[in-house]
Amino acid sequence: MTTPGIEAFIAVNRFGLGARPGELGEAAGDPRGWLKSQLAGPAPLPAALAGLPTSETVARELRKPKGAGPAGRRPPAFDLERSADPTAGATQQQPALVQRLAQEGRDLYKKEAAARSFAQVQSQDPLRERLVAFWSNHFTVSIQRPIVIGLAGPFEREAIRPHVTGRFLDMLLAVTRHPAMLLYLDNARSTGPDSRVGQRRNLGLNENLARELLELHTLGVDGGYTQADVTSFAKILTGWSIAGPREADFGAFQFRRAMHEPGEKILLGERFEEGDEQEGLDALTMLARHPSTARHIARQFAQHFIADDPPPTALARFEGVFRDTDGDLGALAEAAIDAPEAWADPLAKVKSPNELVVSTMRAIGLEGDDEAKAKGVLGALKGLGQLPFDAPSPAGWPDKAEAWIGASGVLERADFAAAVAARVGGRIAPDQLIADTIAPVVRKSLTHAVARAASAQDAFALVLASPEFQRR
Amino acid sequence: MLTRRRLLVLGAAGFAYVGGIRLALASAPTDNRVVVVVLRGAMDGLAAVPPYGDKDYASQRGNLAFDEPGKTDGCLDLDGHFGLNPALAPLMPLWQSGELAVLHAAATPYRARSHFDGQDMLETGGAAHALADGWLNRAIGEMPDDGRSLALSVGPSVPLILRGSAEVGSWSPEQVLPAASQDLLDRLADLYRDDPLFSKALADGLQAQQVSDEVMGASGGAVKSLKRADYLPAAAKGVGELLADPRGPRVAVLEAFGWDTHQGQGLMTGRLPTALKSLADSLAALKQSMQPVWARTTVVVATEFGRTVAPNGTNGTDHGTGTAAFVLGGNVEGKRVIADWPGLSSDRLYQGRDLAPTTDLRMVFKAVCQRPLGLDEMTVENKIFPDSRAAPAMSDLLRA
């Protein structure tokens, strides 16, 4: 077996999720091949995610009336659509529903968040899991809007995961049609002012989804669109909604013609004839193939896989691959693996809190997913400020070191290292931990500090808190 | 024995409705106190400070329009033309005592409608992504260094407005994980020597820890967990206590989230009144805890831009331009609404949809830099807010 070198370190950290014991050795012979093999072939759902509900199950369960109501009256079922904002007037007469959403949604969320973390900790295809997290963050759905608290996990499984090595357009369509996104960015109720519903009721446009699709998901903020484009796109997307509680597929995507703004629309200078749902499909297709989208995605991808400020050479190459392959995300991932810039500096990126916690659990070879372990992992993620599916805004979590390494962030990381060392520091020798994780990049200052540490536990904490372990 | 971060253990309950907040404190060699409250998500200025006297207000705002003061669904009165959202009632005593000034139809020079670029300009003071550091950090960096170095903040990162080369610390609202030992931290300081990012952050953190121990003492009010709605008022109270202490910091930044009311904004009840009430309670708590230094205090409350004049189709409002801002404190020449009011008739709206911006928010920020922070005009023009000559400091807003 080849002695793991710097390229093995980069493969398992920059591209993977941190080494599990033995993984550096597996990657050592052919680091690029080891990564590319993870992209090939079918990708079964990770065991940790088996048995979690689909978004339609979540909706159906919440729709069932619970408990015994007053005689002759059914207790109210959860109304996903009307409750699009639980503090809004419509549901203020239904406090029981809001309470139910909070309780049941919270339980669902905890299960999802823990399962997602365990999938990352236990993955044999860590590059694939990293891509899931990357694209999930690109298309953020955050439980900061309580309405999606039970849907954020299903969203990632249904709209992101199947497409991480597929086509960008397919992911974009799946994301935009997913009930979680339609609720999170308010499109489910957006109504054309001249539509049948708009004429009859006091409803109209909501441009939130249209704007973030342009700004965050496709073209980028400097991608060359105007307010008129945002408004037009919002009109195009009217009717992209979800089935209501009295309809067959409650909670599923539904195009509602009665809410769709009729007539021709102009988006980015392109004319869209009246075409119901097809308008949105055509518009998203155009956006997926727009040069600005290629540029925007290339930058984000390079920022994630190369450096906070990625070199222009890599940007140009990624942009070209995205454009020339019609947004083949597998090809884009291969381009990142093949980019010499990604193999230049093994410690260029700082791990996010999520990456730090997951790589630490991988380093100690954490197995199992019982409740105590779930509590520990989620507690750490909360303590470090990055719970799953809880990004502060639709822009997602930041992907730059300066956002994470502040005075208190660095202290919290030390707290975390000390806490892990207190639990397992006696079980794994510090030298073993180094050999399993950061041996190819370890500096003398760390090996000296480890040798001088007062206890094995202290030495263990030093390794986990070292720049070699905190970076990727 | 470490007491770090016991002073303000504020829980961000993950499931409540009002957005969470973070906070950061910076050291500054002055006896004056400055607090900037950044409202992230674009606060609806027309809802916070309704221009009920404008002839077009009721028709343009539709079901989001308040009635006149005294009537059902009426706003509070400020000056016969402008009113105050009833949820902001806790601010009325400040108005009455002349300690609250309101700016209206105000905005930064940013004219597109991206939250993220809008906040970038609000906090860096320059065009989006043109400047890497925050204007408040640059201002602190220009102040004479008297050796005092105080630095605390809440959350894992420092908000952009305070980011930069001047020393700024932060602390975390919750001590979820037990604190690492001083010995480990000392060894880490050694280990981080070759990593500038980590070594600076750790140095700031250790200093912050020392300050918070000194200021709040070992018994600093520890709260295990708070609902998200209680978070901002409690944080403001704690910040006020730190600022009021002579050994404490001089400058603090609070962040409040939850203003992006595309849906279910509400008039008397709903998302926005809930957020406004939390803000008003927090500002009242801040004043209460800062009583000893309140006469020397300036608080600026600002957001990245406003929201559409007309309600959107889902009982909310979309991203707009001109909005309201608040300046309060014992240092403020208050009891006035400062506005070059553009009117709300359709032909006066910015791009036919937004309150037209007529007052540059940088005029307020520059006044803060010159008066309480004591920087000279040239420094402010050249280093803090470059290319802002058209927006001179609002000279009569603050006393010192």
Residues 125-164 of A with CB under 8 A from B: 143-144, 146, 149
- Looking at per-residue pLDDT, the higher value among A81 and A102 belongs to A102
User: Residue A197 domain-assigned?
Assistant: no
Instruction: For residue B174, give the chain A residue with the closest CA.
Output: A383
Q: List the single residue in A143, A208, A410 with the smallest CB-CB distance to B202.
A: A410
- Looking at per-residue pLDDT, the higher value among B334 and A89 belongs to B334
pLDDT attached to residue B218: 42
Residues 303-332 of B with CB under 8 A from A: 311-316, 318-319
Distance of CA A140 to the CA centre of its chain: 6
pLDDT attached to residue A382: 86
Instruction: For residue A443, give the chain B residue with the closest CA.
Output: B191
- Looking at per-residue pLDDT, the higher value among A415 and A464 belongs to A464
Q: List the single residue in B152, B193, B318 with the smallest CB-CB distance to A208.
A: B318
pLDDT attached to residue B12: 26
Q: Would an 8 Å CB–CB cutoff place A345 in contact with chain B? A: no
Residues 193-222 of A with CB under 8 A from B: 193, 198, 202-208, 211, 215, 221
User: Residue A383 domain-assigned?
Assistant: yes
Q: List the single residue in A88, A383, A414 with the smallest CB-CB distance to B184.
A: A414
Residues 328-367 of B with CB under 8 A from A: 351, 353
Inter-chain CB pairs, A–B, below 8 Å: 234
Alpha helices in A178-290 (DSSP H): 179-184, 196-200, 208-212, 227-237, 277-288
3-state secondary structure of B351: coil
Residues A352 and A346 sit within 8 Å (Cβ to Cβ): no
Chain A: give the shortest CA distance to residue B266, in Å. 7
CA distance linking residue B302 with residue B361, whole number of Å:
8
The verdict on a CB contact (< 8 Å) between B266 and A88 is yes
Residues A453 and A430 sit within 8 Å (Cβ to Cβ): yes
Q: List the single residue in A89, A221, A407 with the smallest CB-CB distance to B153.
A: A407
User: Residue A459 domain-assigned?
Assistant: yes
Domain count, chain A: 1
Q: Which helix (H) or strand (E) holds B200?
A: helix B196-216
User: Residue A183 domain-assigned?
Assistant: no
Spans of chain B, pLDDT less than 70? 1-28, 128, 145-157, 167-176, 208-230, 247
pLDDT attached to residue A130: 98
Q: List the single residue in B169, B191, B314 with the smallest CB-CB distance to A466.
A: B191
Range of the domain at A394: 348-470
Residues 70-109 of B with CB under 8 A from A: none
Residue A83 pLDDT exceeds 50: no
pLDDT attached to residue B178: 74
Domains for chain B: give ranges and CATH numbers.
21-384 (3.40.720)
Which residues of A fall within a CB distance of 8 Å from B204?
406-407
The verdict on a CB contact (< 8 Å) between B17 and A86 is yes
User: Residue A362 domain-assigned?
Assistant: yes
Q: List the single residue in A84, A102, A458 with the smallest CB-CB distance to B184.
A: A458
Q: Would an 8 Å CB–CB cutoff place B181 in contact with chain A? A: yes
pLDDT tens track for A150-203:
999 999 999 999 999 999 999 999 999 999 999 999 999 999 999 999 999 878
Give which of A410, A438, A441 to mutate to test B binding, by max B Cβ within 10 Å.
A410
Q: What angle do CA B213, B219, B222 make, to 5 degrees?
A: 95
pLDDT attached to residue B307: 97
Which residues of A fall within a CB distance of 8 Å from B14?
106, 143, 382, 387, 390
pLDDT attached to residue A65: 58
Tokens standing for residue B195: 């990593």
Residue A89 pLDDT exceeds 60: no
pLDDT attached to residue A145: 86
Please give the ipTM for the structure prediction: 0.89
The verdict on a CB contact (< 8 Å) between A206 and B4 is no
- Looking at per-residue pLDDT, the higher value among B220 and A286 belongs to A286
Chain A: give the shortest CA distance to residue B140, in Å. 17
Which residues of A fall within a CB distance of 8 Å from B207?
407
Length, in residues, of chain B = 400
- Looking at per-residue pLDDT, the higher value among B228 and A438 belongs to A438
pLDDT attached to residue A106: 85
Instruction: For residue B169, give the chain A residue with the closest CA.
Output: A407
Residue A94 pLDDT exceeds 90: no
User: By percentage, how much of chain A surpasses pLDDT 70?
Assistant: 91
The verdict on a CB contact (< 8 Å) between A190 and B180 is no
Using the 8-state DSSP alphabet, how is residue A253 labeled?
Answer: E
Which residues of A fall within a CB distance of 8 Å from B169?
406-408
CA distance linking residue A173 with residue B380, whole number of Å:
49
CA distance linking residue A351 with residue A17, whole number of Å:
10
Q: List the single residue in B271, B312, B353 with the smallest CB-CB distance to A206.
A: B312
Which residues of A fall within a CB distance of 8 Å from B17?
86-87, 146
Which residues of A fall within a CB distance of 8 Å from B41?
393
DSSP state letters, A36-87: HHHHSS--PPPGGGTTPPPHHHHHHHHHS--S--STT-PPPPP-TTGGGSTT
Q: Which has the closest alpha carbon to B238: B197, B288, B272, B204?
A: B288
Residues B123 and B159 sit within 8 Å (Cβ to Cβ): yes
Where does the pLDDT of residue A21 fall: very low under 50, low under 70, confident under 90, or very high at 90 and above? Answer: very high
User: Residue A391 domain-assigned?
Assistant: yes
Using the 8-state DSSP alphabet, how is residue B269 labeled?
Answer: S
Cβ neighbours of residue B365 closer than 8 Å, sequence gap 6 or more: B125, B135, B300, B385
User: Residue A21 domain-assigned?
Assistant: no
Chain B: give the shortest CA distance to residue A422, in Å. 10
The verdict on a CB contact (< 8 Å) between B187 and A409 is no
Residue A85 pLDDT exceeds 60: no
Chain B: give the shortest CA distance to residue A34, in Å. 30
User: Residue A123 domain-assigned?
Assistant: no
Q: Which has the closest alpha carbon to B302: B20, B117, B41?
A: B41
pLDDT attached to residue B10: 24
Q: Which helix (H) or strand (E) holds B337?
A: strand B336-338
pLDDT attached to residue A79: 47
The verdict on a CB contact (< 8 Å) between B351 and A227 is yes
Q: List the single residue in A419, A445, A454 with the smallest CB-CB distance to B178.
A: A419
Q: Would an 8 Å CB–CB cutoff place B129 in contact with chain A? A: no
Tokens standing for residue B83: 């009113």
